Amino acid sequence: MSLDVSPDDRLIAAGLDSGVILIWDRATGARFGSALSADVTPVWDVAFSPDGLSLASAADRSAVLWDLSGRHALGSPIGATGDVATDVAFRPDGARLAIGHYDGSIGIVDVASRKEIARIAGRSIVYAVRYSPDGSLIAAGSSDGKVRFWDAETRAPRGAPLDVGAAFVWQIAFSPDGRTLAVAVDPNGPRNIYVPDRQGEAQLWDVATRRRVGKAMIPGKHSILSLAFSPDGSILATGSLEERLRLWTVADQEPFGSPVDVKDDGVAAIAFSRDGARVAAAGAGAVRIYDAKTQRLAVPPLLGHSDAVLGAAFASNGRFLATTSSGSTRLWDPATGLAYGDSLDASPEPGSLRTEVDVPLFLPVRNAFSPDGRYLVTGGVETRAMIWDLEPATWRPRACALAGRNLTKEEWALYLPAGTPYRATCPV
C-alpha cells in the first residue's frame, strides 16, 4: 500500500495492491468520491500535485494522472466550495446563470467561463430564483416570506419586495409576458412542514405595481412546494407536499380539470413541456408525466432515483426531461419515458469543506436547462452545483478520449442497430 496526504491536509489517498486507489476526507474519515482504478496491478505510489487538484499514481502496467478538481467528462462544478445551492436559473440569452444559496446570497456565473462574476448578498435562505423573461430582473423567494428584486445588470435592488407574511416562499415563476409573478406560499414552513396545520396557496402578483392579482389558489393537501406556468401563460400548475398536482386557469384562478392525487407521494417539482401538452410532476418515489388536458398519465411512471426528486425541467428542444435528486440527475425521453444512460452524478466535496448549516428536512435542489438546451445546471447540498454539457458533438471526442480506441466489431453489433455498417468512429 502507498499513501499520500494532500498539501492542504484535507485528503488522504491510498493505493492498494488490487489496483484501486481510495481517497478519504482526513477530518471526517468519509470517502471522497468513488474508487479510482486504471488496471488490476498493484499501485506502488500515489502523489498529490502541489495545488492538490491532481493525483499521480504508478502501478505495474500504468502511470496515471487523476483530475480531482471535480471536472467530469461532460460536467464542471460551479460556484464556491462549501456553497449550498438550492435553485438555479439561466438568463434568457443563456450567457448568465443565477444560483440561489442557503446563506441568502445569489451568485451570478458567466456561463462561457464557468466563473462566478458577482454575488448579491442576502439575509434569508433563498429557496427560489428566477430571471424575468426579458432578462432585466432577478427575483428571489426566501424563508422570511419575501420576494426581492434586483436589476440583472447592475445588481442593485429594484423596488420594494413582495411580502406574503409569516411563510416560506418555496417557488416563484414569471408569466411568459413577465407581467405577473406566481408565488408558492407555505405558512407551515416556519413552523413544521411535516406537521402542517394550515393550507398553502399560490398567489399572483403584478410585477410592476407589486400588488396582488385576483384570489388565492388553494389546492388543499397543505404546503405548496412547486408551481409553473404553461408556455402560453394560460395555466398554472401547483404541487403539494401531500399527494396533489393541481392545474388552474390563470385568468380567473379557478381549477382546470380534476386534481391529480398520487397516494403516498408529494409533488416537489413541476415542469411543463415546451409545447404545453405535458406536465411532469416529481416526488419522493417517482416522476410522472401527465397529459395537461386530461390529467392522465402519458407514459408509465419514471423510476430510477433512490432519493426524493426535487428538480424537474424540460429542454427547449424537447429532447430531454431532466430530474434531480440529491447529487444525482437523470435524463429521460419525454415522449417515451425511457432513460438516457446512467445518472449524472455531481462532484462530491470533502466533508471538512462543507458549510455547516442546519439544513431543514426539506430543501429544494432544483435544475435548469439553458435556453438553447445545450447546458443543464443542477444545485447541490452535499455535492457541488454542476453545469453539464449535453451537446452530442461534445460527447463524441470526449468518449473517444476516455476509451482510447474504436468500438470492436462485437461491441458495434451489440450497441448499434442491426445492419449498420461497421466503421471507425474515433481517431487513433
Each residue's pLDDT tens digit, 161-199: 999 999 999 999 999 999 999 999 999 887 777 788 889
Whole-angstrom Cα distance, residue 147 to residue 142?
6
Residue 293 has pLDDT above 80, yes or no: yes
**Cβ distance 107 to 79 under 8 Å?**
yes
pLDDT at 390 over 60: yes
The identity of residue 260, as a single letter, is V
CA-closest candidate to residue 345, choices 314, 373, 386: 386
Contact 277, 292 (CB under 8 A): yes
| pLDDT of 274 above 60 | yes
Query: Which H, E and C letters describe the chain, residue by residue?
Result: CEEEECCCCCEEEEECCCCEEEEEECCCCCECCCCEECCCCCEEEEEECCCCCEEEEEECCCEEEEECCCCCCCEEEECCCCCCEEEEEECCCCCEEEEEECCCCEEEEECCCCEEEEEECCCCCEEEEEECCCCCEEEEEECCCEEEEEECCCCCECCCCEECCCCEEEEEEECCCCCEEEEEEECCCCCCCCCCCCCCEEEEEECCCCEEEEEEECCCCCCEEEEEECCCCCEEEEEECCCEEEEEECCCCEECCCCEECCCCCCCEEEECCCCCEEEEECCCCEEEEECCCCCECCCCECCCCCCCCEEEECCCCCCEEEEECCEEEEECCCCCCEEEEEEECCECCHHHCCCCCCCCCCCCCEEECCCCCEEEECECCECEEEEECCHHHHHHHHHHHHCCCCCHHHHHHHCCCCCCCCCCCCC
What are 88's three cell numbers?
438555479
Q: What is the residue-averaged pLDDT of the chain?
A: 85
Q: What is the pLDDT of residue 45?
A: 66
> What value does the mean pLDDT take over residues 378-385?
80
Quick one: cell of 237?
400548475
Higher pLDDT, 415 or 333: 333
Q: Is 274 exposed, middle or buried (0-12, 13-18, 19+ CB in 10 A)?
A: middle
Asked if residue 331 has pLDDT above 80, the reply is: yes
Amino acid at 364: P
pLDDT in tens, 118-127: 999 988 999 9
What integer pLDDT is reported at residue 208 of this predicted model?
96
Write down the pLDDT at residue 194. 74
For the residues 73-99, what does the mean pLDDT come to? Answer: 82
Contact between 402 and 390 under an 8 Å Cβ cutoff? The reply is no
In this predicted model, what pLDDT tens digit does every residue of 102-118 receive, in sequence order?
889 999 999 888 889 99
Query: Quick one: what percent of the chain has pLDDT higher than 70?
Result: 88
Out of 22-26, 80-84, 214-218, 227-231, which region has the weakest mean confidence (pLDDT)? Answer: 80-84
Is the confidence at residue 357, as pLDDT, over 90? no
Q: How buried is 405 (Cβ within 10 angstroms: 0-12 exposed, 13-18 middle, 19+ buried)? A: exposed
Dig out the grid coordinates for 162 from the structure: 413582495
What are the grid coordinates assigned to 103, written together? 446563506
Provide Rg for the chain, Cα atoms.
Answer: 23
Report the topology of domain 75-390: Methylamine Dehydrogenase; Chain H (2.130.10)
pLDDT score recorded for residue 38: 63
248-260 tens-digit pLDDT? 999 999 999 999 9
Highest mean pLDDT: which range of 150-164, 216-230, 316-330, 354-368: 150-164
pLDDT tens per residue across span 30-85: 777 667 776 666 776 677 777 777 777 766 555 566 766 655 555 677 777 677 88
* pLDDT given for residue 216 in this prediction: 97
CA distance 140 to 128: 5
Beta bridge pairs of residue 101 = 85
pLDDT band at 265 (very low <50, low <70, confident <90, very high): confident
**pLDDT value at position 91?**
93
Average pLDDT over residues 271-290: 90
* Cell triple for 10: 484535507
In this structure, are residues 215 and 205 in contact, taking their beta carbons and an 8 Å threshold? no
Bridge partners (DSSP) listed for residue 21: 15, 36
pLDDT for the residue 152: 97
